[in-house]
Structure 1
Amino acid sequence: MSTTARVKSIGASLAVVIVAASVAMGQAQESPQGRFGPPRRVEGYYKDLIVPHWFAQNNRFWYRNDLTGGTKEFILIDAEQETRQPAFDHAKLAVALSQAAGGEYKADQLPFEAIEFANDGKIVRFAVGETTWDCDLASYACTKSSETMTPSSADRERGFGPFGRRRGPGQGREPSLDSPDGKWTALTKDHNVFLRPKEGGDEIQLSTDGVEGNAYDRLSWAPDSKTLVAFRVEPGDNKEVYLIQSSPAGGGRAKFSRRPYALPGDKFATYELNLFDVQSRKQVRPKVDTLELDWETPRLRWMKDRRHFAYEKIDRGHQRFRVIEVDSHTGQSRNLIDEKTETFIWTAHTENLGLSLVTWLDKSDDFIYASERDGWRHLYLVTTDENATCRQITKGQWVVRGIDLVDEDARQIWFNACGRNPDEDPYFLHYYRVNFDGTGLVALTEGNGNHTIQYSPDRRYLIDTYSRVDSPPVHNLRRVSDGRLVCSLEKADVSELVAKGWAAPEVFVAKGRDGKTDIWGILCRPKNFDPSGKYPVIEQIYAGPQSSYVPKSFSPMSRFASLTDLGFVVVQIDGMGTANRSKAFHDVCWHNLKDAGFPDRILWHQAVAKKYPWYDIARVGVYGTSAGGQNAAGAVLFHPEFYKAAVAACGCHDNRMDKASWNEQWMGYPVGPWYSECSNIDNASRLKGKLFLIVGEMDDNVPPESTMRFVDALIKAGKDFDLLVVPGAGHGMGGAYGQRRMQDFFVRNLLGVDPPDRNGT
C-alpha cells in the first residue's frame, strides 16, 4: 500500500473510531476492569444468556432463546427428570393463535416475549398487545384469559431469588442516640458526653476531658443499655485539593472548587475508645491502641451477651490487622485476630478483593476470616469463646475470591475461587461449597473457562455458564448437592460474527522473571492481518495491585478495534504485583509500584516475538489511565530500551500526590525513600522515547497537579513531550478527542505515518 493510500485508510478508520469513543466520554475510570462486558444483545450473537423463570416448585423453569433474523424459541427444563425440550409445540401454537386472534403468526416469530405456565404446566399463558391468552397444551386451543401476566423481578431473573444478596461485614446502621431501654438520650455538648433522662430532669455529664481539637464523638449504646461507648476524636490534617474549571458551561469566570483529600503521610483522625457506666457514671479507658482513620469511622459489632463488642483495627501502613474484643463492663480486651506481615495486608479498596476480611455469623459470635497468612488467600473459622481459636477451612495453592453464602444451620460456606484446577488459566473463577471444618469440599462448576452461576430459588440447582475470551459461553444445569451435571442447556452461537470477520483474541502464556511463574495475557491481531508482514505492538497497561485485568470471559465485541483497525497488534498482560495469584506474586508491588510487572511483561513480549516473526518488538508502545497512566509513563522512564512510545492519561505520577488510602496500601507508611524512587516526577530526567500526557482539569480522582508537576519536571530536565489538557474533563482519556489524539500519536510514532491533517481545508 502506498503512503498516500495508507494515510487515507487511517483517516477513514479514525473517523469510525471517534464515533465509538464518544460513547465513553467523561466516564470516570480508576481501572479498566470489567469494561469489556458484552451488552445484552449483539447482532449475530445468540444463546449468550440464560434468564430462567422457575416454577413455584423450583423443579422446572423456562427460558427464551433469541435467534437469527428476529426469530426465537422457548425452552422448558425439568430438573428432576433431567430433560430439555421445547416449552410447547411452536408450530401448533402459531396455528392456534392465528385462528383465535385472526392474524397470521409464524412458529419462530411468535408475538410475545414471555410466558407463564398455569394448571401445573398444562396451560401456557402469554400476552399479545393488551390481550392475555391461555393455550391448552393438550388440545392447542387458545382462548382469551381474564388473568394478567406477572412481571418478573430483576433479582429473580438474575438468580438471587429469595436468598437475596449477602450483606457486608460489621454491619448494620449507625445506632440511635437513644438507649435501647428507652430511658436515656446520649449526646455530645461542649466537646463532652452527656446523658439526658427521657422522662425529664437535669443532664448528667459523663466526661470532662473533652476539649476543642480532642472532642467526644461517635456514640454507641450497649444493647443492655448499661454502657455507653464514645470515641474521643483528634481530627486529622483535613488538607484539601483544588480544581479550576476554566470553561464552565454558562461562560463567565472560571470556577474554583475544593475538597478534603488525604495524601500519604498526612495526619489522620485518631479515635480513642472510652466506656461510660450509666449507673455508676464511671469512665473506663480500655488499654487499646487508638484508631487512625482517614475517611472511615469506627464500627462496633456487639456480641450475643450484649456486654462484649468487637471491632477491626488496621494499623497505619497496612502491616498489622486485628479484631479486638472489649468487655464493656470492665474495659478488658483481647485480640481475636492479630496478623502481622513484612509487606502488606490487603485491607483497603476491598471491593476489588471480592470479600470482606471478616464475615460475622448471624447466629453466633464466630466469624469467617479471609487471610493470606499461608501464602494464599483462604478462609478461617474464628471462634470467640474463652479459647478463641482460628482454624483453617480452605487450603492449597489457589485463591478464594468471594463468599456467596454462609449457611450456619448446615455449617457450610458457598464461595468462589480461582487457581484450583492446575490445567486451567489460574484466574478462572469456579464455585464451591465446603463445611466449616474444611471437609466436604464440593466443586459446583466444571469446564475450562471463567464461570458465573445462577441458583434456583431454593438453591437445589444452579445454571453454570462458562466461557473464555476465545470460546463462547456454555450453559449447563447442575445439581447443587454434588455438582453433578443435570443437563446441557445451550452453547452460544457466534457463527454470524465469525462470518462478518470477528476474530477472538489469542491467549498467550510465557514464563515470568523467575523462569517458573506463568504470566498470562491476550493479543489481538490487526485487521486484514497478513502473517508475512511486520506489525508494531501496543500494550494497554493497568498494573494497579487491587485486581487483575486481562479479560477472562467471552465478548462479542472486537477488543481494541480502534487500534487493530489501524494496523497495530494490541496486547494486555497481568504481570507480577497484581492480585488474584499467590501472596508472593502480589508482594512484588510492595514499596515498588514502578515495577508494574515490567520484567514479566517484557519477557512475555519477547516470547510472543520468538513464536511469531510478524510481532515487531522493535516498535512497542504502551498506554494507560490512572495507575495505568503512571505505568505507561514509567515504561519510557524505567524501560526505554524496550518501550518506544507511551500515552499516559490522568496518571498518578508520584504516589505522594494521590489518595492515601490507595497508595499507603501498597507503598506503606511512613513515607520513605521508595516513594521518590518510584516517582515519575523525580525520575523525569530518565525519559527516552516519545511521551504523550493527557489530563482532565476537573479530575476528582487523581489530582491534576500530579500531571502538571510531571510536566514541570520534564521541562526542567529539557525533555520533549506532548501534552493535552482537556477543559472540563474528569478522570479518563479525555473523551473522543483524547482517544483520537492517542491514535494519531501511535500512528505517527510507531507506524511512521503522518495522520490526516485535521486543520487542512
Structure 2
Amino acid sequence: MLRWYSIWMSLFFLLPVAVDGQQKANYKLADKYSVANAGSLLYSRAVKANYIPDSDCFWFSYKTSRGGEFYHVDPRKGKPVHLFDREKMAAQISELTHKPCNARDLSITPSFGKDKNVFTFWANQVQLSYDMKTGKCTEVPRQKPGTQQQKPHNPLSILYSYSSDRAYVAYAKEHNLWLREESAPDSLARQITTDGVQEFSYSDDASGDGKRIFTTRARWIKGTHRMFVIREDIRGLETLLLVSASAAGRPRMVTFMTGNQKYTMPGDKKVPHYELSLIDAESGKITKVAIEKWQDQYLNFLYATKDGAYLYVQRMRRTRDELDICRVDTKTGEVTVVLNEVCKPNFNDRNLSISFINDDNEFIWWSERSGWGHYYLYSADGKLKRALTVGDWMAEKIVRIDTNRREAYVIGHGREKEMHPYYACLYKVHLDGKNDIKLLTPEDANHDVTFSPSGNYFTDNFSRVDLAPRSVLRDKNGKLICQLAEADLSALFASGWKMPERFTVKAADGVTDLYGVMWKPFDFDSTRQYPIISYVYPGPQMDALDLNFTATGNHNAALAQVGFIVVNFGHRGGTPLRSKAYRTYGYGNLRDYPLADDKSGIEQLADRYPFIDINRVGIFGHSGGGFMSAAAICTYPDFYKAAVASSGNHDNNIYNQAWGETHHGVTQTVKGKDTIFSCKIPTTGELAPRLKGHLLVITGDEDNNVHPGQSLRLVSALIDAGKNFEMYVLPGQAHLYKGKKDLFWRYKIWYYFAKYLLNDNRADYYTDIDDYKNE
C-alpha cells in the first residue's frame, strides 16, 4: 500500500494541470528566458560612434547572427561602408601574429592618428597597422628602449595639484593645505591653513588620520594663483554599521557607506555643514566667504569664469524648497545673488541645472515655475530674458549649445501628444526669441542621441519595448542622412520569444493616464485565466518602467513564463519626467502614495482582459519596490494574495537624509534662537497587523544602500502582530545581489508565486534549488 501511495504522489507532482484546472508552473520555460539565457540570443542593439580625430567621420562595430562587422561613416557620403574585409583582415592577423583568428568574432579597437586612412590596433599582443586604401595590414615595429636619461619619478606627484601655469603646487597634510613653488623642494613648502582637522579637512581624505600627504579638496582657479575650497564639516555625525559575517575569519564590523563614512537620516539634528574659502597662493591670504544664509543649507560649486574673476555656487535650504545662485568675487569674497528661486513643496534635484553661455555673459536655468520643467534664458546680472521652452511638456536636459548659431538642443518628453510621454525626443530651440521649437527625432520611440564633434551631425539610437532597436545618422536640423544599423532579433524570435505589449490605464483619480508594459507567457492560451503580478518601483526620483527594447524586462519575461501575466506600470508620483503636480503627488505621503494607483490599474486590466484572474493578484519589487510590495499587501489585504519584498526601505526614517527629507518633507520650526528640523515617515511595520496574504521578505546582510535593519524592523513588527510569513537573508550580499545568491533570489520569486497563485507547491520538495531541471 505504501508503495502505491508513493507512486501516486510522484505522478501527482508531475501532472501538468493542477486540481483547480490551472496549468502547473513552467519553470523550464522561465529559465529559457532568464537574463542569462535570453541574453545569449541577442546581438548589438546600439551604435556607438567612435570619432576619428579632427573629423565628423567615425567607425563603429555591430554584431548580428552573421557575426561582427566594422563600419566607417563619412556623413558627407551618406552611407556606412565596411571598414575592412573581415575575412581578409582575419587572414592577415593570423599570418602576422602566428595565431588563429576567427573572422566572425574579430575583437579589435581601431585607433586613428593624423592619417585618417590608417589605423592601428592590437591583436594577440601584437600591434598592427591597417591602410584602408590598400587593404594591407602590417606589424608596427617595436620601439627600442631610449637612451635618454629619464627624470626620476616622484611617487607623490599624483597627489599634487598644480596651478594652470604650474608655478605652484598644492597638497594636503595633517588635514591642512600646503603650498610650494613648483621648483622648490617639499622641505620649503608653506603650511597655508591651520584650522583643518579630521572630518573638517582640506584633504580629500577627510576621515583619514592626515599623517600622510594626500590630494587636497582645494581647487585652482584657472589662469590665476588663487584657489577655492568647499570644506564639509562632518564632525559629530554618526556612522551606520554592518556585520560582515559570511567571509572566512572573525566576523567584523564594516561601515555602511563609502565616502566620508558618515550617515545622516531624516530629521537628524547633526548634519553636514559647508564652508567656502578663497586662498591666494602668492600672499597666503585666506578669505572666508560669507555664504551662509540658511541653517543646515546645502552648498555646491557650479562654475568658474575663464578669467578667474568669479565663482558661481548654489546654496539651498535644508527644506529643499528655496535656493540662490550666487556669484563670488574671487579677489574680495563678495557674494552677489543673481537668482533666487522658490519651488514648493520641493525642487526636482534630478533635473535642476544651469548652463553658462559665452563664459558668464548669459545663463540658461531649468525651472518648474510653470508647473512643467522648462528652460529660461538670463543675462549675467540675473535678469530674465525669455522662456526658451513652454507648454504642457517636460524639457529634461540640454545636450548641446551652439553659441554661434544661438541654438540649444534639448531632450524633451510629452510634447508629441500621440507618443508615450516618457519617450525622449530631441528638439532644436532658438535662444533669441524665435518660438519655433523643432522636433528632430520624429519616430514614435525613445531616442538616445550623441552629437559629432562639430555639432553638425548626431547619431540616434531609438527603440520601444515593442520595436526593435534602430540606429540612424542625422544632420543638426534632423534631416536623415542614412540608416546605420537595425538589431538582429532572428535568434530571439526563432526561440519562441514574443514582444511585450504596451497599455494605458487610469490612475485611481479616474483622470490621469498611467503607462505600462505587459508580459504574457509565450505559450499563452486566450481561453485560460492567469494570475496577474505587478512588478513595482514607485520612485519618486525615477520609476522602473521599461521604455527601450528589452528581451527580458529584467525579471518580468521569465516570471511570466512560469504562468503569469506580469505588468509594470507607472504610478502618480513615480517619475520626474512629467508635470510638477505628477512628480510631487507623493510628497508627505512617502509610504502610501502609489498603492491605490496600482490596485486601480490592475482592476482595469482585469475588466479589459478576460484572461486575467482578479482573484489571484501578486506584487513584487526590489528596494523601493520592496517597500511598496509589503505596504500594498498590508494596505489591501483582500486584494493582493502574495507579495515578495526584497531589500525594501520599509522604514525610511533610517534611510538617508537627502532622499527622505526631499521626497517626504522636513518640518522647520523656530524656537527662540534655535531652528529645529523634524521628519517622521510612516513605516511598513505599522501596517503589519493588517497582513492576510502571503509575504516573503528578502535582504542581503551587507546591503550598503538600504540597511538590512529596515527588513528586520518589518519582520519584528510582523512577529509581534502574530503573522505568518517567510524571510531569507542572503549572506555577503549588498543591495544588488550577485552570483548564486542572485539566482537563489530569482528562483524563490518563481516558487513563491507558483505556490500561492498557481497552487503549485512542487518547489517545497526540491532538494536542490534548481531541481525543476530534472523533472
Task: Provide the TM-score with structure 2 as the length reference.
Answer: 0.75
Task: Write the deviation string for residues 99-130 of structure 1: whole angstroms up to 9, x where unpaired.
Answer: xx9xxxxxx98897889999x99999999999
Give the deviation of 1:660 after TM superposition: 1.0
CA contact (8 A) 2:56 2:453 kept: no
Q: Secondary structure at the match of 2:641?
A: strand
Q: Secondary structure at the match of 1:556?
A: coil
- Matches of 1:632 and 1:378, distance apart in 2: 34
Corresponding residue of 1:35:
none
Matched, 1:342 2:330: no
Corresponding residue of 1:269:
272
Which has the larger displacement, 580-589 or 463-472? 463-472
Task: Write the deviation string for residues 47-101 of structure 1: whole angstroms up to 9, x where unpaired.
Answer: 7444557788967767666554x367777766445467888999xx98xx99xx9
Residue 691 of structure 1: which of 670, 688, 695 is its match?
695
Residue 428 of structure 1: which of 416, 423, 431 is its match?
423
- Matches of 1:10 and 1:434, distance apart in 2: 55
Matches within 5 A, 1:591-670: 591-670=588-667
Corresponding residue of 2:328:
326
Residue 753 of structure 2: which of 723, 746, 753 is its match?
746
- Matches of 1:456 and 1:747, distance apart in 2: 51
Give the deviation of 1:507 after TM superposition: 0.1
Distance 1:618 1:280, change over 3 A: closer
CA contact (8 A) 2:354 2:365 kept: yes
CA contact (8 A) 1:360 1:368 kept: yes
- The one-letter amino acid paired with 1:411 is R
Task: Write the deviation string for residues 5-51 of structure 1: whole angstroms up to 9, x where unpaired.
Answer: 23899999546767987969xxxxxxxxxxxxx96xx53x5674445
Matched, 1:315 2:323: no
Give the deviation of 1:664 after TM superposition: 1.4
Task: Provide the TM-score with structure 1 as the length reference.
Answer: 0.76
Distance 1:230 1:289, change over 3 A: farther
Distance 1:205 1:448, change over 3 A: closer
Distance 1:443 1:147, change over 3 A: farther
Distance 1:207 1:614, change over 3 A: same
- The one-letter amino acid paired with 1:269 is P
Corresponding residue of 2:540:
545
- Matches of 2:315 and 2:514, distance apart in 1: 35
- The one-letter amino acid paired with 2:343 is T
Distance 1:518 1:438, change over 3 A: farther
Aligned length: 693
- The one-letter amino acid paired with 2:290 is P
Corresponding residue of 1:719:
723
Task: Write the deviation string for residues 253-300 of structure 1: whole angstroms up to 9, x where unpaired.
Answer: 322223522111121122355678998979776374157368xx7537
Stretches of structure 2 that go unaligned for 5 or more consecutive residues are 1-10, 96-101, 142-157, 204-216, 256-260, 670-676
Which has the larger displacement, 108-117 or 629-638? 108-117
Higher RCO (C-alpha 8 Å, min separation 6): 1
Distance 1:520 1:671, change over 3 A: farther
- Matches of 1:19 and 1:585, distance apart in 2: 38
Task: Write the deviation string for residues 623-681 of structure 1: whole angstroms up to 9, x where unpaired.
Answer: 11111111111111223232221111111111111111221110122499996563112
- Matches of 1:253 and 1:276, distance apart in 2: 47
Matched, 1:401 2:396: yes
CA contact (8 A) 1:65 1:74 kept: yes
- The one-letter amino acid paired with 2:250 is R
Distance 1:280 1:466, change over 3 A: closer
Q: Secondary structure at the match of 2:685?
A: coil
Task: Write the deviation string for residues 316-371 of structure 1: whole angstroms up to 9, x where unpaired.
Answer: 12111221223456654332221112211022xx3xx4xx5223346335332222
- Matches of 2:52 and 2:637, distance apart in 1: 62
Matched, 1:758 2:766: yes
CA contact (8 A) 2:192 2:284 kept: no
Corresponding residue of 1:573:
569
CA contact (8 A) 1:596 1:631 kept: no
Corresponding residue of 1:244:
243
Which has the larger displacement, 716-725 or 299-308? 299-308
Corresponding residue of 1:360:
356
- Matches of 1:59 and 1:233, distance apart in 2: 43
Q: Secondary structure at the match of 1:445?
A: coil
Corresponding residue of 2:413:
418
Distance 1:57 1:269, change over 3 A: closer
Matched, 1:703 2:698: no
CA contact (8 A) 1:265 1:669 kept: yes
CA contact (8 A) 2:84 2:132 kept: no
Matched, 1:444 2:440: yes
- Matches of 1:110 and 1:280, distance apart in 2: 63
- Matches of 1:458 and 1:51, distance apart in 2: 17
Give the deviation of 1:232 after TM superposition: 8.1
CA contact (8 A) 1:649 1:732 kept: no
Stretches of structure 1 that go unaligned for 5 or more consecutive residues are 25-37, 102-107, 137-141, 150-172
- The one-letter amino acid paired with 1:520 is Y
Q: Secondary structure at the match of 1:566?
A: helix
Corresponding residue of 2:511:
516
Give the deviation of 1:135 after TM superposition: 9.1
CA contact (8 A) 1:235 1:268 kept: yes
Matches within 5 A, 1:158-197: none
- The one-letter amino acid paired with 1:636 is I
- Matches of 1:319 and 1:476, distance apart in 2: 41
CA contact (8 A) 2:694 2:725 kept: yes
Residue 479 of structure 1: which of 475, 482, 494 is its match?
475
Distance 1:676 1:621, change over 3 A: farther
Counting aligned pairs with the same residue, the percent is: 28
CA contact (8 A) 1:112 1:128 kept: no
Give the deviation of 1:709 after TM superposition: 1.2
Distance 1:530 1:214, change over 3 A: closer
Distance 1:521 1:666, change over 3 A: same
- The one-letter amino acid paired with 1:5 is L
Q: Secondary structure at the match of 1:637?
A: helix
Give the deviation of 1:698 after TM superposition: 0.9
Distance 1:615 1:62, change over 3 A: same
Distance 1:135 1:307, change over 3 A: closer
- Matches of 1:87 and 1:196, distance apart in 2: 51
Task: Write the deviation string for residues 469-491 of structure 1: whole angstroms up to 9, x where unpaired.
Answer: 111123333222x2122344444
Give the deviation of 1:400 after TM superposition: 2.1
Distance 1:125 1:514, change over 3 A: same
Distance 1:460 1:244, change over 3 A: same
Give the deviation of 1:532 after TM superposition: 0.7
Matches within 5 A, 1:147-158: none
Q: Secondary structure at the match of 1:681?
A: helix
- The one-letter amino acid paired with 2:704 is D
Q: Secondary structure at the match of 1:740?
A: helix
- Matches of 2:227 and 2:443, distance apart in 1: 54
Matches within 5 A, 1:358-397: 358-361=354-357, 363-385=359-381, 388-389=383-384, 391-397=386-392
Give the deviation of 1:686 after TM superposition: 2.6
Distance 1:333 1:567, change over 3 A: same
Matches within 5 A, 1:451-470: 451-470=447-466
- Matches of 1:304 and 1:127, distance apart in 2: 40
Distance 1:273 1:540, change over 3 A: same
Q: Secondary structure at the match of 2:16?
A: helix
Distance 1:533 1:115, change over 3 A: same
Give the deviation of 1:462 after TM superposition: 2.7
CA contact (8 A) 2:533 2:618 kept: yes
